[in-house]
Each structure stands twice: as structure tokens, then as C-alpha cells.
A and B are shown apart, each in its own frame.
Chain A
Amino acid sequence: MLGRYRFVLFRPFQLLPVMFGISVVTFILVRLIPGDPARVLLGARSTPTALAKIRAQYGLDEPMITQYFYFLKNLVHGEMGRSTLYKIDVLKLIATRIEPTLMLVFFAVLLSLVIAVPLAALSARKQGQWPDHFARIAVTAGLGFPQFWLGVMLIILFAVSLNWLPVSGYGKSFEDKALHLVLPCLTIALSLSSVITRSLRAAMISGLNSDIATAARARGVSENTVFWRHVVPNALVPTINLLAVNIGWLIGGTVVVESVFALPGMGQLLVRGIFSRDYMVVQGVAMVFAVATLLINFLADILTVALDPRVKF
């Protein structure tokens, strides 16, 4: 009945064991890092009494296996336990942090496409000429700059010297938020667009040399129409998959960028969580990131099926 879209029904069931696996792995990994949340919280003020109290308050004195069952039980009830660092429910905490990260990822991807599509088009159509060389140098440069460095450079230029944009943080009103997002999005987009441009350029070049393009040209279709009607849509399919595969990398990128720009998002929460050995937060954020990655790949599959009639899952 659903034809090629039948996988939409079954895929969610396949995701369940994956999620279970993720819960086990994050639970174990975060506890494998040496260190003790209670000790981190108390610092030099650690006394045996205070340490014991904190461990008891957060169930850290229970055996590992008991802690894991609590974690699972909470998950089933839609809870994620209490953060040792922030002392509130992790899900509540994540709810307050999800917006900046979503906005950051969404606009960074959008901005990357805005940069990458014209650049790749230019590069593919002028293959071997100076615009192509320029684009390829730009791409290599974009891949070469580390984000923490690029972010600080953009701040120094646009926020401190020119004073056009805010240095950091996240605003309250919509306009304010948009302004605060420009530099972080640009930081991510400059490297992400490099990845996309490379793949798009290659796909476009093979599209331009394909039989479809030759046949279209033979029918007297103009070169512009050939390119935009036949080459670009075909080149987009692998790019969508590339983006989906890169989403993990992108989320990793938010960790760095959010710290540099003091964006109160999930990435920053994860970093603080790891440094403080806030097990609940690390588990919670990792679960959310994992679900997001799975969902985005799922969506990408649906989109691929929609765009390419040959694909079947």
C-alpha cells in the first residue's frame, strides 16, 4: 500500500534496540572516565561527611547495576534523573537548552547550503578555470581552520573591531537571538559548507558529463536549464545523505562553538556535564543527541526516497 515508503512503518521498531544499546554504552562510558561527581562538586571543601551526603542524595552510593536500572526505569517514565551540578531534573534542564542548539544547527545547515550550492555550481561549470581554483582553495581553507580559532577570529573582527555583532551569548527577543546566532552559524557554516561543496561539485561534474545531460543538450535544451533542471536535483541526493551522515559531526561542532560563543545550548551542557562528571546530564544529552541523529537519518532516508525513484529500503 505504501509502496516504497513501507520502511517508514518498520524503521521505528528497528530503532528501539539501537536506543537500548546507546543507553548501555553512554551509561558505561561516562562511568569509565575516572573521577567522582561528589568530589568535583566539593573541590577542596571535601569532607567525608559532605562527600557521603552528596553520594547518597544522588544515589551514587548504589551499585552500578542498580543505578542503571534506575536510569532505565526513569527513561521509561520519561525522566532522566537529577543533575548533580544543576540540582534539577535533567529533562527540564535539556528543555531549557534545546532551542539555541536547534536554531544553531538549523541555521548553520541553511547557511552552509547558501554558501555551498552557488560555490559548487560555479566550480562545476567553470571546471579547471580560475573560479574553480578559487572555490577549491576556499574549501581547503574552510576545512583547515579549527572552529575554536575561527570563532575567536570572527569575534575579534565583527564584534570587537567593527562592533557590528554581539560577542557572545543568546538574546531574549527574536531579533536579538538572530543577531547572536550570526557568528556561531557562520563559524560552523564555513567548515560545513566546505564538506558539502566538495561533494556537490563532484556530483555536479558527473551530472554534467552524464547521458541525461548529453541527451538534453541534444534536444536543444539550454545549458542553464540542463544544469538547474537535470544536474542539480540529481546532485542533491548524495548531498542530503552526506548532511545526514555529518549530523553527528555537526552536533560535535556545536559543543565547541557553543563554548566559544557562550551559547546556552546542549553542547555547552554536555561539556560542563563531562567536566563535572554529572552522569545524569551526560547520559541525558547523549541520549537526546543519539535520538536526534537517528531521526535525522530517518528523515534523510524518506527524503532520498522522495527525490530518487530508484531508491528502495
Chain B
Amino acid sequence: MFRKFSRVGLLAMTLVMGAMTVADAAGVLSIGRREDSSTFDPINTAQNIDFWVFMNVYDVLVRVDKTGAELVPGLAESWDISTDGLTYTFHLRDAKFSDGSAITSEDAKFSLERVRDDELSLWSDSYKIISDMQTPDPKTLVITLSEQSAPFLSTLAMPATSVISKAGFEAKGQEDYSQNPVASGAFVVKEWLRGDRVILAKNPEFWQADKVSLDGVEWISMPDDNTRMLSVQSGELDAAIYVPFSRVEELKADDKLTVHIEPSTREDHLLMNHEHEPLNNVHVRAAIDYAIDKQSIVDAVTFGQGKVANSFIPAGALYHSDENGARDFDLEKAKAELAEAGVDGISLDYLVNAGNEVDEQVAVLIQQQLAAIGITINLVKMDPSQTWDMLVAGDYDLSMMYWTNDILDPDQKTTFVVGHDVNMNYMTRYNNEKVKQLVAEARLELDSAKRKAMYFEIQKLAKADAHWIDLFYSPFINVTQKGIKNFDQNPLGRFFLEDTVKTAE
């Protein structure tokens, strides 16, 4: 009995001493995040937790660059667009899958057919516009559209269109491929401990493999924000993403760490239900816009890390306009608008995502700010998974929501927000025929200068209507050890791990 105890003691001692030596192999980057991936089948997910990992396992025909503002060649070396804007011819470069087989136009076609037609695809709507695909030779893919579409090229940079191996998929089947894919990108899936971590290894067959410095990447799930930050501070992790706003200053002060604040396309906005009185009156909506002090929200809630939003197209994104007539905080003008509306004793139901700290704080701030112009706000706290249904049903007056862009082109968000599409303009029930028509026309306009002017006009009209209230833009905040270089994330969320270098510093 005692011998056993002393052995346990000895073991414990060696273990403790072992822990004091450095844990990670050189060249493998460990990144802590909130939760684990769910699939590597690109068409079967709409979650960033999946996208952000498999964007480094698969390549796409067309990529978005680091600034998030430009399309650059990916697996397609170049492309030609016919003058009628209906036929796209892609010329593929010499590239191989991780199993050594060549990436052909047949694979690209198969991947696009899956996203358009497969039962599992959550993105089929965006690709219905593809009417035909031809592969005259293994390096050429010809796509024909049923109508002109300015944003089409940028939808080919979507993670859902990642190029997968047709032969590999047919051999493995969907179930296996979605866990153990044949890679076309910088890394392969070496091991996946479900719910814990995804272990990636460098893909030696990747067409830019000589550019990749890391031997591998481990995406480790650590749901608790405190634990994740402490793990970086203790040196156990090389990097952590989703740094809470409240921790930024503390981490910046740590001289072993670098805090990366990268622009994102995230915008938080306040929805207003245009079908409910008195929000159907533009003067009431404008009064609310004037009465909300967005800067104080940015300061209090994002600890100054965010920026006041002035348009639904985020700052830095394509065709964002600063001259759309955004309303600065002004109580006098707010009161004047209310007087013009001629209604008083306004009382509104504000739908809050219960348990979401930022949401609840903003709600309380807005409640106080609107009290200054005599508007009473009743906070209705609901579980986040229920609020969406209430927005769809119109059971709300005000509610804060957010949006992040998936593609570089403004068409996706514009259609969703003011395009009078299937979702009642992000549940606001906003209605303006002129805007509706402009959005449809802008989608077809292939001249970029004209298109830009149209989007500027749309932003101006929507702002004049106070279709919703733009609150703030917030960045991606990540933290790494000082020795990690080029840990970059573009505004659409893609990590450029093929460029990341781990040094001993």
C-alpha cells in the first residue's frame, strides 16, 4: 500500500517537472477559440467555426485578399468574362490535392454543382443563377449564368464553394469526407478530436507549399473566455481568438503578447418594426436615430474598441459611403422630429437577447437615452434562440442584431437589408419601391463606377428613411505571443495561416 503511494508521489513529481518544460512542438501553431468545428463539408454549414478552419484546408477558385477589398486569383489563375456578362471562363493553374492527384476543372464543377443542387447545401439560393457548366479540358471551366450578376465572381470566393476532390469524395462518401477530407489548401486534417481540437498538418502538395512556414496548426476549443485568455498569458497557447472587449487593455500591457485588432465587417444595428405605430412614421424613426448617442455606446460597451456606424455597408467595405446623411447625436433635432411627427407618450417594446452581455448593456443605454426625449422603452428579455422567431413574426418594436459579410460584394447584405427580398428587409418591414428597384439594378450593373454611384444612392435613401439605426462596427480581436508573426485575419474572417510564422522570440 505504502509502496504504491510513494510511486504515485514520484509520478506526480516527475509530472510537475515535466509540465515546466515547453509543451508545444516548434512550428505548430496552437489557437484557442470558443468551440470546435462541426464539419469539413463546405456546403453543409453556415458557421464561422467551420469556415475559419476549412478556409485553410481548401482553396477556392477566386480568393479575397488581406484587405478584404479585392478579388485575387486562387485555384483559377485567370478568368475571362464575356461581353454580355453571362459567360465566365476560368483557367485553372497546375495544382494538386493532398492525395497527389491533379485539381481539374471537373473537381471545380463538381464542387459548384454540390453547392447549387445538393440536399445538404445551405447555400443553394446564391448559386441557382448558374445555368450551365462545361469543362472543355481539365484546366478550363466555363460557367454560364441565367442572368447578369455583378456580385457573381465574389460569390466564388465563398467558403461554401471550396474546391473538393470529386474522386476523393466519391470514394470516401459524404460522412467520411466531411471528417477526413482530401485537401486543396495549405493544410490537411491530421486528426480531429471531436469537441476538443482540430489538428492540421502542412499539405506538401499545396501549390504554394514553399510559402507555408508552419508545420501544422491546432485549433483548440476553450469555451470559457477567462480560461482562453489565461492560457495565452501562461504561454500554453500561441494564440487565442475572440478576445473580449473588456480584456484588451490588460493584454496589451503584457509585454509577452501582441494584441491584433483587425477590421471586420461586423455591424451591430437596431431594428425598428415599420409596421408598428408610431414607428411607421419616418419622423419618429429619425428622432430615435438623433437621440441615440452612439459614441457613448461604443465607449461603454466595446471599451472604445468599436467605431460609430453610419451606414449599413461597413466602413472599409466596398462602396461604403460616408456622405449618406448619417444623423449625429442631437437631442434638439430629435425633439424637433418628434414634434413634427405629432405623437407623444410613445412606449416601445425592445426585444433583448437575454444572457448576451453586450446586448443587455446596449438595451439599458438606449432605454436611458430615449427617456431624454420622452420615449418609454420596455425591455423584453428573451432567449436568443427565440428572438429570431419573434423578429420574423413581427412581435417587437426595437431589437439589436448584427451582420457580418460573407462576400466582398455589397449585394449580399444590401439585398438582405433593403432589397425587399424574402425576409422583410431583415424583419424591419421597411418598404421603399425606389430602393427596391435600385438594389435590383445595382446587381446587374457591370460598370463599377456606375454601380458605386447606385450603392451611394441606396445608402442615402435608406438613411433618409431611417430604415434601421446603425450603431457600431467592431473589429476582430485576437491575441498571440510576441514571436508569432503575420497572424492576419481579413475583414471577411479568413486567417492567412499560410503566411504565419512562429519564431522563438
- Residue A122 CB within 8 A of the other chain: no
Complex: A88 Cα to B227 Cα, angstroms: 27
- Residue B388 CB within 8 A of the other chain: yes
Given the interface contacts A96-B194, A262-B222, does A85 sit within 8 Å of B19 by beta carbon? no
Which residues on the A side are within 8 Å of B230 (C-beta)? 152, 155-156, 159-160, 167-168
Contact A43 B47 (CB under 8 A): yes
Complex: A170 Cα to B220 Cα, angstroms: 10
Interface of A, helix, strand, loop or mixed by DSSP = helix
Complex: A97 Cα to B195 Cα, angstroms: 8
Interface residues of B, count at CB 8 A: 58
CB distance from B419 to the nearest CB of A (A): 13
CB distance from B189 to the nearest CB of A (A): 14
Contact A259 B223 (CB under 8 A): yes
Partner of B385, one of A40, A54, A168: A40
Complex: A49 Cα to B179 Cα, angstroms: 25
Contact A179 B18 (CB under 8 A): yes
Nearest CB in chain B to that of A161: its residue = B234
Contact A167 B221 (CB under 8 A): no
Which residues on the A side are within 8 Å of B403 (C-beta)? 44
Partner of A260, one of B220, B224, B384: B224
Which residues on the B side are within 8 Å of A156 (C-beta)? 230
Interface residues of A, count at CB 8 A: 53
Which residues on the A side are within 8 Å of B25 (C-beta)? none
Partner of A163, one of B223, B234, B382: B234
Contact with A along B218-241 (1 / 0, CB 8 A): 001111101110110111100000
Given the interface contacts A88-B194, A179-B18, A262-B227, does A169 sit within 8 Å of B402 by beta carbon? no
Which of B117-125, B161-169, B205-213, B495-503 lies at the interface with chain A? B117-125
Contact with A along B181-206 (1 / 0, CB 8 A): 00000000000011110000000000
Contact B423 A36 (CB under 8 A): no
Which residues on the B side are within 8 Å of A261 (C-beta)? 227
Nearest CB in chain B to that of A260: its residue = B224
Partner of A164, one of B19, B35, B221: B19
- Residue A87 CB within 8 A of the other chain: yes
Which residues on the A side are within 8 Å of B16 (C-beta)? 164-165, 179
Nearest CB in chain A to that of B227: its residue = A168
Contact with B along A13-50 (1 / 0, CB 8 A): 00000000000000000000111100111111111111
Contact A53 B122 (CB under 8 A): yes
Given the interface contacts A164-B20, A260-B224, does A42 sit within 8 Å of B46 by beta carbon? yes
- Residue B11 CB within 8 A of the other chain: yes
Complex: A156 Cα to B231 Cα, angstroms: 10
Complex: A35 Cα to B390 Cα, angstroms: 10
Contact with A along B43-69 (1 / 0, CB 8 A): 011110000000000000000000000
Complex: A59 Cα to B297 Cα, angstroms: 42
Given the interface contacts A87-B44, A93-B195, does A175 sit within 8 Å of B14 by beta carbon? yes
Task: Report 24 cross-chain contacts, Cβ distance below 8 Å, ordered by A residue.
Answer: A36-B385, A36-B386, A36-B389, A41-B46, A41-B47, A44-B404, A57-B120, A86-B38, A86-B195, A160-B233, A163-B20, A165-B19, A166-B236, A167-B230, A167-B234, A168-B222, A178-B11, A260-B224, A262-B223, A262-B231, A264-B193, A264-B196, A272-B223, A277-B385
Binding site for B on A (CB under 8 A): 33-36, 39-50, 53-54, 56-57, 85-88, 93, 96-97, 152, 155-156, 159-160, 163-170, 175, 178-179, 259-262, 264, 268-269, 271-272, 277
